[in-house]
């Protein structure tokens, strides 16, 4: 049985996702910031004999599925997914793999390593100090979206809407570097809680690569988050990015899968 989380089910929800807080950062952050039921977000739990077997969160057109023991009812979950307007589904690799054993509607699968940062390495960026890092404003979102759209794996069609909400509610932050009035590099927090933060949308314009700008902007944001008592987390899917993050101090915790129509 899949039911929407209400005040009577909140304790079941919090207890279940607390088993793996890091990998549940998106769910934790979205609920902490926006609640259980809004126009753009819903949260459900799947129950079997009163025991939770999965948690499902819709954020705009994105769906996140979490199951601790990977014992969810696949057919029931598929019926629920098909009742929604969704363009991407994500979750732990083992959960998505189990879903894919039956479900074939989504054609593309991408996998990323999930990492967290407990202790940051001491890196020197004095050679690129002329590049100024600044916080993005609402009027910068169109340019940032245009920059990110050149990235093949970028799938967030509702980026501007979601980031506008985050900036207006102070539930996330975006950093940028400009050159000649154009945005050439960016990084943001996809979601933040009181003790965790997901770093996302790391990108440098192709004309400005090999200058360590990505490392510089991620390092700056990561250091700021640690100073606030938040553990930074992120995903990466290629070894070039992996080397940047490992050099900063990030370590792999899990594998995250995303399905795209």
Residue 154, pLDDT score: 57
The pTM score is: 0.78
Q: Confidence class of residue 20 from pLDDT cuts 50, 70 and 90?
A: very high
Q: Confidence class of residue 184 from pLDDT cuts 50, 70 and 90?
A: very high
Q: How far is CA 7 from the centre of its chain?
A: 26
Most confident of the following: 31-40, 103-112, 193-202, 216-225 = 216-225
Within-domain flag for 111 = no
Residue 115: strand pairing partners: 234, 252
Q: Confidence class of residue 151 from pLDDT cuts 50, 70 and 90?
A: low
Residue 16: strand pairing partners: none
Q: Confidence class of residue 29 from pLDDT cuts 50, 70 and 90?
A: confident
CATH number at residue 213: 3.40.630.30
Q: Confidence class of residue 65 from pLDDT cuts 50, 70 and 90?
A: very high
Domain closes at, from 106, 131, 157: 106
Q: Confidence class of residue 159 from pLDDT cuts 50, 70 and 90?
A: confident
Residues in contact with 207: Cβ distance below 8 Å, sequence separation at least 6, in sequence order: 184
Which H/E stretch holds residue 115?
strand 108-116
Is residue 208 domain-shared with residue 94, that is, in the same domain? no
Is residue 58 domain-shared with residue 96, that is, in the same domain? yes
Number of domains in the chain: 2
Q: 30: domain range?
A: 2-106
Is the pLDDT at 74 greater than 90, yes or no? Answer: yes
Within-domain flag for 82 = yes
Is residue 218 domain-shared with residue 150, that is, in the same domain? yes
Q: Nearest-CA neighbor of 163 among 195, 130, 200, 129?
A: 200
């Amino acid at each position: 049985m899949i039911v929407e989380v209400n005040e009577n089910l909140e304790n079941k929800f919090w207890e279940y996702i607390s088993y793996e807080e890091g990998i549940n950062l998106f769910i934790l952050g979205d609920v902490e910031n926006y609640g259980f039921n809004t126009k753009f977000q819903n949260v459900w739990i799947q129950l079997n004999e009163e025991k939770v077997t999965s948690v499902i969160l819709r954020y705009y057109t994105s769906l996140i599925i979490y199951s601790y023991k990977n014992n969810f009812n696949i057919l029931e979950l598929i019926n629920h997914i098909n009742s929604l307007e969704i363009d991407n589904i994500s979750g732990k690799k083992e959960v998505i793999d189990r879903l894919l054993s039956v479900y074939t509607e989504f054609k593309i699968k991408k996998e990323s390593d999930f990492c967290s940062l407990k202790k940051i390495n001491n890196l020197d960026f004095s050679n690129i100090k002329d590049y100024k890092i600044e916080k993005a404003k609402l009027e910068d979102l169109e340019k940032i979206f245009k920059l990110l759209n050149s990235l093949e794996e970028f799938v967030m069609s509702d980026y501007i809407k979601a980031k506008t909400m985050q900036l207006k509610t102070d539930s996330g932050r975006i950093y940028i570097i400009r050159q000649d009035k154009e945005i050439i590099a960016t990084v943001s927090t996809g979601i933040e809680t009181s003790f965790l933060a997901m770093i996302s949308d790391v990108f440098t314009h192709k004309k400005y690569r090999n200058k360590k700008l990505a490392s510089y902007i991620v390092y700056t944001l990561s250091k700021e988050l640690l100073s606030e008592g938040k553990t930074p987390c992120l995903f990466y899917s290629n070894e070039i990015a992996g080397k940047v993050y490992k050099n900063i101090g990030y370590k792999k915790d899990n594998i995250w899968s995303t399905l795209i129509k």
